[in-house]
Structure 1
Amino acid sequence: MKIIVSKIFTLFFIVMYNLTFAQNKSDREWIVIDKDWRFSFGHLYDTKKDFGHAEGYFSYLTKTGFGDGPASKDFDDRAWRKLDLPHDWAVEQPFGENGSFSHGFKMAGKGFPEKSIGWYRKKITIPETDKGKIISLQFDGVFRNSKVFFNGYYLGTEQSGYNGFEYDVTAYVNYGGENTIVVRADASMEEGWFYEGAGIYRHVYLKKTNPVHIALNGTYVTSEVKADNAEVTAEITIENKGNYKGSVEVIQTIFDASDKQNANTSESITVPEFYKSANYKSKLIVHNPKLWDIDLPNLYRLVTELKQNGKIIDRYETSFGIRTIKFDAEKGFFLNGKSLKLKGTNNHQDHAGIGTALPDEIQYYRIQKLKEMGSNAYRCSHHPPTPELLEACDKLGMLVIDETRLMGINDYHLNDLERMMKRDRNHPSIFCWSVGNEEWNIEGNIVGERITNVMQDFAKSIDSTRPVTVGISSGFKSGISSVVEIMGYNYLGNGDIDAHRNEFKNQPGMGTEEGSTFATRGIYFTDDAKHYQSAYDRKPRPTFYSIEEGWKFYAERPYLAGMFIWTGFDYRGEPTPYGWPSVTSYFGMMDVCGFPKDNVFYLKSWWTNKPVLHIMPHWNWNGMQGKEIEVWVHSNCDEVELFLNKKSLGKKKMEINSHLEWKVKYVPGTLEAVGYKNGRKILTEVQKTTGKAENIKLSTDQENLSEGNVKVVTVEVTDKNGLHVPTANDEITFSIKGGKILGVGNGDPTSLEKDQFLDDVELVSITHFQEQKGTSASLPNELSSYPENEWITAFQDRDYKKQAPSHIYRGEFDLKKYSASNTVSFFYKKIGIETVVFVNGHLINPSAEDSQKYVLDFTVLKEGKNAIYIAATPLQKIKDWDVMNTDPGIIQVITPAKPWKRKLFNGYAQIIIQKEENAKEVILSAFANGLKTGTLNMGFKK
């Protein structure tokens, strides 16, 4: 069966990609431009608070190049916050009861017009030597409804927050000089019913190519395994954005993971006409291919080169894998001809402390955590993922269902589907396309059937090598269920799966969502008042099934390919079965940090071949002496014997896909489980009653990260004997040298603590701005008294042909909360040729770094109203239609962040750190009252 192959998007790859191009003198460059952006909030409907955007007489939609407000290339953004991408502004906001239930009650997005619009600006230089190249901007995703401008020119709008998109800016470039990129993101509307973040939360690239080049996502590699060989078909799309007419040589070379050349082909082709594209196919044979598999995820690399007159003009690399997939209606799923039960999870894209702005390393961390649990499949719920997640799945060996956002048959729906598939179809990890999920309005009727038929056939026209599925939850009888290629069952309680299978015996099926149980990590008695659910695996509601019940159902039926649990990780939003103040889900096998709940060990017992032995709960139950505690053991041993303080409580046989239970009266001490295989003792596991917390312990989880500059640190406390204290909830404060903290979390679904501790940047407008004429062009060094009756509104009815030699301006700004810790600056926007500034009667000198920036000393300012006076010689109009600046500038107030901190939740917290660019080491310290300080010195691979 033909299979798919993949394109890799890691930052490491990008660097190597550019180096390789430079060595081969290709015209292609692909440059990450994530660093040094400026950001500020705008406003949803108040154009004044949106920096005057869309107030111009000519708008960006009426005349080309009329981007106004921040969209103008000349807009002054010096007072805006400086940051690096990826960035999620929603995770930075506090929680509030009026926030969205779906988005975890963050006070951003809908209902918060002052936090629903985000502006981003970045300046780049493009050299003269790039003339003649095609210059493009590539965005992996902006949430959402983004408008992009370049040098004031409007490029386009992308409604969905999940689609990648690209804009050609060649015609607008200022070669040899400064160029301005502007993005306005509108996150006021939700696409999903789960936390989605806000802003430019994925990578951005500057791309440069020869006019004749491989198009965006312009390779499609499939393979067919025949005996000891694989026939690889490499289809490329060549685009001509120039006037070149003639031929180019196309060279296709396949390399294995050790960079050994495996196959090569070359042919001369005719270039498509001006602004046209054309597809070309090449056949290559790989002898004795190393197949991509979940245990050995072997990858190959296709290098496509275009040569014109002997010179390489483009070089494009595609990562791919060789493997076969097959669904059988009787026997389930096969990978490389071997039966494989899908052991999957559904997941959204956010993580504790950082929201949706995941560093690439965290993608690897999360996929590796799922692999450790025994999972072999991942469903992207419910939208196209970031490219780096698919790269992690390719490299680590995780199968993927790739899912589009919305069902439909028009351009909006099909174009989204096509872009997702063309971007992702080379990834060997993807084994199925999903074109919908729980579309209750159409699932069981003729409309759903029609839409599914169109989307399914449309998908096949783009990629015929993978099947199509839809997740169905409103009964498995008609409509979509009767026509979809691979039936996706969402929850046993929603219909009779066996009955549907008996009616459609030629239709393969899998459980696209199952489980949906409630559990809070480290909690063993449900407490509805505190919004905590017991971690024992129970039915979430009478008609639904526990994790164990669900897995048994699918494991016992060969015709079902497997199941995808809802969910692998907890996620922000959908805090079912509660509401405020719960802010995260309870469904995950792991919490939002990736700390395992006890269900992880049930799955690990039956999803892996490694011996497993796990006791729940912990054994710290002060005050419950003599009361019965439910003790569960998760294991894949044949038998398990339980001991309390060395006294046997009995040996029990383990049934397949089950667990064991004891009722144990609590006595402090040691609970020990002994696991037997074939009558032989192979494992022991203990839960000990610990002493009081005394030490802070910091440890890294580097084995679950790709190489990079980001590390995940686990924070916990131990007693005097070094035992982890599972009931500890101490508040820990952090400091760091050589790096920065990206986010903190603890997995508590009710925690309303900050995710991030950042400097607050407030922009304060100058109001009541007035003027009066000066009598001399000489500007004062001291503030004089000016006649009160001569003040008029500034710039009102100004006659620019008969201006005074100077003007005196006055205004006021309000510092509602002010202390010595604040840094206050006046960013002056030029309203005169020469300028003198006074604040509260004091002459203010410009800063050395910027002649139009004035740093205001604490002794000059006061809480409440402050007066600002500006004396300036007037600007002159050169042309009558020149637009003169009438904005004196903005006051920036920076309130320094408080120290980073987080409470432990049931013994754990997590902190994500990033190394500073030139740091040789990173030292993290953790403090808490009554505990010994913890310190971690972290090394990074170069």
Structure 2
Amino acid sequence: MKRTALLILAAVTFAASLPAQTPRKHALLDEGWKFHLGHAADASTDFNFTIANLFSKTGKATGTAIDPTFDDQSWTSITLPHDWAVALPFENSDNADVLGHGYKPVGGLYPRNSIGWYRKAFTIVPADSGKRFSVQFDGVFRDCQVWMNGFYLGRNESGYVGFEYDITDYIRFTQENVLVVRVDASQYEGWFYEGAGIYRHVWLNESESVHIPSGGVFFHSKVTGGEATVSVHTTVVNDGLKDEWVSVQTYITDRNGKVITKSEEEGSSFVPAQAGIRSHVELTLKNAHLWSLEDPYLYKVVNVVRQNGRVIDQDRQRLGVRTVVIDAATGLSLNGKRIKIQGVNCHQDHAGVGLAQPDYLHYYRIRRLQELGVNAYRTSHHAPTPELLDACDSLGMLVLDEARLLSSSREYQDQFRRLIERDRNHPSVFLWSIGNEEGYAQTNSIGKRIALSMLALQRQYDSTRTSTYAADLGNVFTGVNEVIPIRGFNYREKHVVAYHRDHPGQPIVGTEMGSTVTTRGIYAIDSVKGYLPDQDITAPWWASTAEAWWPLAAENDWFMGGFVWTGFDYRGEPTPFQWPNISSHFGIMDVCGFPKNIYYYYQSWWTNKDVLHISPHWNWKGREGRNIDVWVNSNADQVELFLNGKSLGKKAMVRNRHLQWSVPYRAGTLAAVATKQGRTFRTQVQTTDAPYALELSTERTTVLADGRDAAVVDVLVKDKRGREVPDAGNLVRFSVQGDARVIGVGNGDPSSHEPDQCAPGAWQRSLFNGKCQVIIQTGKTVGAIRLEATGEGLRPAAVTIQATAEK
């Protein structure tokens, strides 16, 4: 029987040092994998998986790729994360799901591409016998089965929630161990690009039999004045075969590791074999340094497990002390400061790499969003990768963390529980979402009952937060909406005022707002190529432009704000087009993170920066004398527009709007001069000459030589006078010198069928409206990395990045 020890201890503040590091190990298992496609409909090319009687006897694996002695030398060597779908060619299809997934030939219609086999050999030294071992997968798309040395571990059905298996009983200490994963991407889970494969990290965990399990620590804080009380709940399990006595002690350190406070050292607690105990301590932080969007300060909570005075386990997690209040009349407050949600929805693919993003890319994308003025991120519609939440914690970004499906079945309740236990200690997570647009259930009694079950589970595992649900409904108060604590609106912004009038006690947030469809650098509809004008003018029937929803949110205190659909373009869902379109148009930025013009609308009203932006570009040869529709986005008080020095008039800048002029085209300089609170600033666009020279830029001049770090390099072209050419389409080729490799290229063209992943030594990409992007990943050698770009008739360019020893 499991026993529970409940300890509420006073905190003691003093200078002290933490105990030496724990015997626990958490080692990446990303390198040295072998990969081969299988076949969902042909057993002979699926390594006999469906015809071998694998489950008749424990450990039976003979004649299949599961067999530890199987020869995989001819398989492809890979390093995780890995998305095999991104490297597949595009393939036209009339099937709606294939369209939604970006015309990649994966899924039930493509059995030849929908099974992937992974094998990993590794050793464990005999000195570690007696320890507990587990293998942890952060994310695999989709259905996967796992074997260790031929012994079956289990099946995971979610493409997004991580999972873990204890492998202690199957370890071999005198020869190699072989981990085998069969991934089946035949079944889609979403209606957008989902990739295929082991696209997140894999870890090998090692601990004593008595240890803190994954998800076994839950902490939260309450702030009163300048003082914070931190409640820490810790579970310790005994996976061994004999009863043990242990003690648990909790420390809080500052960001540099200095102990600020710790619990009193408790006496030993009895932990029965195959059972566990729980402890609860409350620690006080005087003059607490709060976590905020502007100053995302992170403490550390360290739980130490001792046995006879010896440290046998130690769990370290980051703590952000903050207070979140959501009120129906005043919206969201963080640490007593009212905040309007300026959010975006995002899927998790990026140009060039698909879902298999190096950790750095998550930080890169969050910083790009913050430059725009975004303060909140909705993980639509799935559990995010842990590194994304780490980035949001570190950089100061709120997160709406979403369950994949509205369902109270055992499988989906388990997925929701795993999501909450994994993510509940992240200060960035301020709200849960129990689902999105469940048309078959959201308005009926079934949906209401499911929602009540999910809300009960959420409160069981995290009573400090509440939930919303993303409803594509107007002024409707049935089903899920009757019981959801916070009403989420997907579009339907015209009904928000009436809904608030009829239900004034229910807070409102826009879970999906806007959804303008635009193509970067394009200024006319092209239904053949699948392009849309790069202005805030076109939206699907269910959605709206930016200017239709944001003023409503900005001007009403009870409207918490909302999440734009979407922050970045993503693969699949090429609304309103089909083939040759292979990615969406919804993004404020394209799939590379290059801004579209709508970016500057939001930046004008979401930041305190001086924003002044003219669109379109001024290269319109052949259209002399014809009127060009000119937009100016700014947060100034007044803007005056000039063409070749001649004033085209002044206009007052109405808050949360934009300005427009109709200008007869003449080559030259189109300039805008803005005045704001007595200050003047200006910008201009010019007619350029032909492309002349390539230019490379990156935010990183130093990277880690750890085999995992990465750098994003943007590519553009300039004319002889050094002006960026906005409509260039030159083909650019790349080469790398030093210990690094290119892992992906992209350009933001939603109809480009160029490969995102090229053969070694043959990396290339065309510019799309003047830009493209290349992503490089480091090796393990310290030294200079030089990326060179060349193009026919263009002056080449290079950038040098220094790879340094890991800190």
TM-score (normalised: structure 1) = 0.81
1:64 is matched with which residue: 49, 58, 62? Answer: 58
One-letter amino acid of the counterpart of residue 270, structure 2: V
Q: CA deviation at 1:545?
A: 1.8
Q: Is the 8 A contact 2:403 2:435 kept in 1?
A: yes
47-56 or 331-340: which moved more? Answer: 47-56
Q: Is the 8 A contact 2:299 2:320 kept in 1?
A: yes
One-letter amino acid of the counterpart of residue 225, structure 2: A
> What is aligned with 2:503?
504
> What is aligned with 1:156?
154
Q: Is the 8 A contact 1:369 1:704 kept in 2?
A: no
> What is aligned with 1:676?
675
Q: Is the 8 A contact 2:244 2:272 kept in 1?
A: no
Q: Quick one: distance in 1 between partners of 2:733 and 2:540?
A: 40
After TM superposition, the structure 1 = structure 2 runs for residues 243-254 of structure 1, keeping only pairs within 5 Å, are: 243-254=241-252
Call closer, same or farther: CA 1:234–1:506 in 2, change over 3 Å. same
One-letter amino acid of the counterpart of residue 748, structure 2: G
Q: Quick one: distance in 2 between partners of 1:504 and 1:542?
A: 26
Q: Quick one: distance in 2 between partners of 1:534 and 1:706?
A: 41
One-letter amino acid of the counterpart of residue 453, structure 2: V
Call closer, same or farther: CA 1:534–1:704 in 2, change over 3 Å. farther
> Residues 638-661 of structure 1, C-alpha deviation per residue, up to 9 Å, x if partnerless?
011111111111111101111111
> Residues 267-324 of structure 1, C-alpha deviation per residue, up to 9 Å, x if partnerless?
1242321111222111111111110101100101011111111111001101110000
> What is aligned with 1:554?
553
Instruction: Tell me whether 1:128 sits opposite 2:123 in the alignment.
Output: no
Q: Is the 8 A contact 2:61 2:67 kept in 1?
A: yes
> What is aligned with 1:399?
398
373-382 or 40-49: which moved more? Answer: 40-49
Partner of 2:262, secondary structure, is: strand
> What is aligned with 1:688?
686
> What is aligned with 2:784?
921
One-letter amino acid of the counterpart of residue 399, structure 2: V
After TM superposition, the structure 1 = structure 2 runs for residues 730-809 of structure 1, keeping only pairs within 5 Å, are: 730-738=730-738, 739-758=740-759
Q: Quick one: distance in 1 between partners of 2:110 and 2:435?
A: 30
> What is aligned with 2:226?
228
Q: CA deviation at 1:409?
A: 1.4
> Residues 620-678 of structure 1, C-alpha deviation per residue, up to 9 Å, x if partnerless?
11111111001111111101111111111111110111111111111111111111013
One-letter amino acid of the counterpart of residue 744, structure 1: V
> What is aligned with 1:875?
none
1:187 is matched with which residue: 172, 177, 185? Answer: 185
Instruction: Output the aligned Cα RMSD.
Output: 1.6
Q: CA deviation at 1:941?
A: 4.4
Unmatched 5+ residue regions in structure 1? 1-19, 759-896
Q: Quick one: distance in 1 between partners of 2:193 and 2:500?
A: 35
Partner of 1:606, secondary structure, is: helix
Q: Is the 8 A contact 2:359 2:709 kept in 1?
A: no
Q: Quick one: distance in 1 between partners of 2:676 and 2:695?
A: 35
Q: Quick one: distance in 1 between partners of 2:522 and 2:260?
A: 54
Q: CA deviation at 1:177?
A: 2.1
Q: CA deviation at 1:475?
A: 3.3
Partner of 2:267, secondary structure, is: strand
Q: CA deviation at 1:64?
A: 0.7
> What is aligned with 1:849?
none
> Residues 916-941 of structure 1, C-alpha deviation per residue, up to 9 Å, x if partnerless?
21141111111111111111122234
Q: Quick one: distance in 2 between partners of 1:366 and 1:26?
A: 34
2:68 is matched with which residue: 73, 87, 102? Answer: 73
Partner of 2:599, secondary structure, is: helix
Q: Quick one: distance in 1 between partners of 2:299 and 2:274?
A: 32
Percent of matched pairs sharing the same residue: 45
Partner of 1:506, secondary structure, is: coil
Asked which structure has the greater CA Rg, the reply is 1
Partner of 2:99, secondary structure, is: coil
Q: CA deviation at 1:704?
A: 12
Instruction: Tell me whether 1:367 sits opposite 2:366 in the alignment.
Output: yes
TM-score (normalised: structure 2) = 0.95
One-letter amino acid of the counterpart of residue 344, structure 2: T
One-letter amino acid of the counterpart of residue 460, structure 2: S
Q: Quick one: distance in 1 between partners of 2:511 and 2:659?
A: 28
Partner of 1:457, secondary structure, is: helix
Instruction: Tell me whether 1:382 sits opposite 2:406 in the alignment.
Output: no
After TM superposition, the structure 1 = structure 2 runs for residues 408-427 of structure 1, keeping only pairs within 5 Å, are: 408-427=407-426
The count of corresponding residues between Structure 1 and Structure 2 is 780
Q: Quick one: distance in 1 between partners of 2:426 and 2:500?
A: 30
> What is aligned with 2:769?
906
Q: Quick one: distance in 1 between partners of 2:569 and 2:106?
A: 21
Q: CA deviation at 1:531?
A: 1.1
> What is aligned with 2:537?
538
After TM superposition, the structure 1 = structure 2 runs for residues 600-639 of structure 1, keeping only pairs within 5 Å, are: 600-639=599-638
> What is aligned with 2:79?
84
2:239 is matched with which residue: 238, 241, 248? Answer: 241
Q: CA deviation at 1:24?
A: 2.3
Q: CA deviation at 1:242?
A: 1.2
> What is aligned with 1:42?
38
Instruction: Tell me whether 1:30 sits opposite 2:58 in the alignment.
Output: no
After TM superposition, the structure 1 = structure 2 runs for residues 143-542 of structure 1, keeping only pairs within 5 Å, are: 143-265=141-263, 266-477=265-476, 478-492=478-492, 496-541=495-540
Q: Quick one: distance in 2 between partners of 1:657 and 1:531?
A: 30
Partner of 1:205, secondary structure, is: strand
> Residues 433-476 of structure 1, C-alpha deviation per residue, up to 9 Å, x if partnerless?
00010001112111111111111121111101111000000334
One-letter amino acid of the counterpart of residue 474, structure 1: L
Q: Point out 4+ residue stretches in structure 1 off by more than 4 angstroms.
A: 703-708
Q: CA deviation at 1:50?
A: 0.6
One-letter amino acid of the counterpart of residue 787, structure 2: L
Q: Quick one: distance in 2 between partners of 1:629 and 1:906?
A: 18
Q: Quick one: distance in 2 between partners of 1:704 and 1:447?
A: 54
Q: Quick one: distance in 2 between partners of 1:143 and 1:903?
A: 30
Q: Is the 8 A contact 2:41 2:112 kept in 1?
A: no
Q: Is the 8 A contact 1:440 1:474 kept in 2?
A: no
Q: Quick one: distance in 2 between partners of 1:66 and 1:558?
A: 64
Partner of 1:454, secondary structure, is: helix
1:109 is matched with which residue: 107, 110, 113? Answer: 107
Q: Is the 8 A contact 1:631 1:664 kept in 2?
A: yes
> What is aligned with 2:10?
none
Q: CA deviation at 1:386?
A: 0.3
Q: Quick one: distance in 1 between partners of 2:47 and 2:509?
A: 51
Q: Quick one: distance in 1 between partners of 2:527 and 2:702?
A: 35
Q: Quick one: distance in 1 between partners of 2:704 and 2:341?
A: 25
Partner of 1:475, secondary structure, is: coil
> What is aligned with 1:851?
none
One-letter amino acid of the counterpart of residue 349, structure 1: Q
One-letter amino acid of the counterpart of residue 487, structure 1: R
> Residues 864-903 of structure 1, C-alpha deviation per residue, up to 9 Å, x if partnerless?
xxxxxxxxxxxxxxxxxxxxxxxxxxxxxxxxx4611100
> Residues 404-457 of structure 1, C-alpha deviation per residue, up to 9 Å, x if partnerless?
111111211111100000000000000000001000111211111111111112
Q: Is the 8 A contact 2:474 2:492 kept in 1?
A: no
Partner of 1:632, secondary structure, is: strand
Partner of 2:216, secondary structure, is: strand
> Residues 844-879 of structure 1, C-alpha deviation per residue, up to 9 Å, x if partnerless?
xxxxxxxxxxxxxxxxxxxxxxxxxxxxxxxxxxxx
Q: Quick one: distance in 2 between partners of 1:474 and 1:601?
A: 29
> What is aligned with 1:765?
none
Q: Quick one: distance in 2 between partners of 1:678 and 1:55?
A: 76
Q: CA deviation at 1:109?
A: 2.7
Q: Is the 8 A contact 1:262 1:287 kept in 2?
A: no
One-letter amino acid of the counterpart of residue 83, structure 2: D
